[in-house]
Structure 1
Amino acid sequence: MQSRRARRLSGLLAAGALCLSGMATAGPAFATDRDDLVEQQEQQAAEIESLQSSLEGVDSDLQEIYLKTEETRGQVATAETELAIAQNELAAAERDQQAVAAQLEAAQAELENIEADIEQGEDDIEQARSNLAELGRAQYRGESTPSTVDMIVNANSTEDFLDSYASSEALNRAESSALTQAQQAVSRNETRAARQSDVEEQISNLKDQADALVEEKTEKEANAQNKKNELEELQASYEQQSAELESRKADFQASLDKTQSAYDDTAAAIAAIDEENARRAAAANNSGGGGGTVSTGSSWLIPVVPTPLYVTSPFGMRWYPITGGYWMHNGVDLRSTCGSPQYAPANGTVARVIPAAGNSTHGNQIYINLGTVNGHSWVVVTNHLSAFNVSVGQTVKQGDIIGYTGQTGDVTGCHAHMEVWRDGSVIDPMSLPGFTTY
């Protein structure tokens, strides 16, 4: 037994430093958005649940130290993610602010150009008006264009008529040009005034956006700073907790030794039950009877909690996260809420009912002797119950309530711990028919 214990605990202290140094960098990858952050937090919750099961058998105060350290490590990772998100949001707000500032600058420059064009247009309109006024004064002075008849009557010759006619055409073109220029100048300024109104409205909207972005940026800056402060506080707390964890490593080792001793006691109790089963089977054979026989394909043995099952810690060798090294987990831990009924896995007899007082590792514990079935001695053990519903020597049928889920003993969360012993050795309950998972 000492050799087996040595194998299980070999290398624990040597591996401890590596385990602790990896805590600060281990964990989920950085999330980049809110959905990833939620997923990261859910993953951390599942990891804590798994750690609670992996610490089964360790004194509860030591478990609390370790779980608190791991919880803080997860909070550090979350805080790092939240800080990254806050910094990204701040950078986005700054980019938006810069973009709006550039748009505002361009709009203001356009407005200045429009105002200059309008001012020039006003000068053009004034000049056109002046030209038209001058033409009007010329007409008033009798310098207006004579009619064609007058030019024929008054002409002394054909050359005189052609000269007069050419002069009148030039004067008509001047009047028409002055009028056209005036109309075009007015039209251009009307268009510019409409664009001026649009740009002024755009500038007003951009200024509102800029004001809002300044406020948003200020808020984002404060949020990023708060996240940074939270992260620094969590990192300091994590370092302090890690140091405490390191200082208590010898206590964890002592707790493991106690757990191993409790497992040895369980194995000895099972061996005594197996001996009694063998004696009864031999007596039955001598009298012409025999042990029970069942079909190996039937659900003659069921879980202590209803299916489908959610395994929080499987059967088999498990890595011990505090001191390092591997040790044997004799049963399977199944998700079950506090106070939920647990059921007799098969027909049998209650062999032992052990209260938590004096059984600090396993807490409230029940042994159910299933007798000899198909030539093998079968015993089922369930630990950490909150209350019993059976007593020693009581006969139970499959499905009878034997107790209720709890967290007595060296555990930190409610769950069902089920062990299946066959001929003095533990087997994986999940390998049996009917043990289906989600």
Structure 2
Amino acid sequence: MVSAPALADDLDDQQSDLQNQLQQSDQAIDSHHAELDAATAEVVNSRQALADAQATLAKAQSDRDAAQAVDAQKAADLESAEQELTDAQSAVSLGKDAVEAQQAKAANDMRVAHQQNTGMLSLGMLFVDGQDAGSVSSRVQWASTLYNANSNELNRLTELQLQLQNAQTEMATLEDGARVAREAAAAQLSVTQAAEQAADDAAGQVAGLVAANEAAEANAAQILADERAANESMQAEMDSVTQQIQERNERRAAEAAAAAAAAQAAAEAQAAADAQAAADAQAAADAQAAADAAAQQAEQQSWSDDSYSGDSYYEEPAAQAAPAPAASSSGFPLYMPANGPYTSPFGWRTNPVLGYSELHDGTDIGAACNTPVYAAASGTVTQAIPEGSSGGWGNRVVLDNGVIDGVAVSTGYNHMTNYIVGVGQSVSRGEVIGYIGTTGLSTGCHLHFHVWIDGNVSDAAPYL
């Protein structure tokens, strides 16, 4: 008789396991939420830095505009200074011409005075004999006028020379001022242009940082979305497998119950038949004994001494042995599903792809891609799912291996490069069903091997 598994307990345990896995997935989603929040904070900070850099750039541009205004003023001052210099140069030129003319005029007047000897008259000459007082007075007045004229010319010449000297000095000052103005304007413009370029470069760098942080934020959001999608898909896939196993177990339990009832009915019928046969045999034996006794008595009463009646013997039928129960062939240990070492055991670990702690619900066997994958026990293919529909398990096969040593067993083979069996196909223990790969959520070539015992995902190591 095949015993039915304790389905209610199995379902409760499986529900508890699934709740634990969902809790871990929720924690992973919370972790990715934190990463997204951190990335968003970085974006906010970099945007603030960009605003600061743009403010610095605006200040530099304002300084540049002010410097350009100063430069324009300096240019105007330079133009004015150059105009004043031009005017001064003209004044100097005119002054030189005036001095030269005055010098020529003074020289000519002095020459005329010398020729007439009027400038050398002595007082005695003013009172020569034969001259009256009026004539002398006229001579004195003429000499004084000539002297004053010459003196005025000399003063005018001196004044013009001083004006020329002042004009030359002012011209030199203006030339120096114009040079200083040109140098200051050039230096100021160079500094402000450099500041503007530096501020523009800083703004460009910060804008690049903002773009990078926004990309990181988008990437974190995408990772979170992918994790949620993978979580939902894997959850749906696990629910589907669990549902199939549960339905199979229920079906087997019903079949086992029916078989047990039939066996019980057959046993009861056989017992009734055996009891009836024993009663019939006993009745026949009693009848035979009575007949023998009667015959013996009759023989004793017979007058013929030569007659002989032989004894009759009744043998009870041997009890029929109960049929021995059919021995179920043991499938444990399971056939090694791939040739390679264990690279990650069943249990809690940090997911190598998503980076958070979770229950690793299978046993990883490391081997090169395209290494054969074998059926761990004979059974029927219940699932053969391509990578795009398996929710992160890659190319996946699930086998219903039947009841082994009193427990219902199913096995799963994940991340294969490809599989070579189809749903409903029967496979034998050790038969090649596919090839190792790294499809789905995988970081390298390996087989993720699942074992379900009575509907609960279990550590495969004790059964291999």
Q: Which TM-score applies when normalising by structure 1?
A: 0.42
Instruction: From the CA coordinates, give the structure whose radius of gyration is larger.
Output: 2
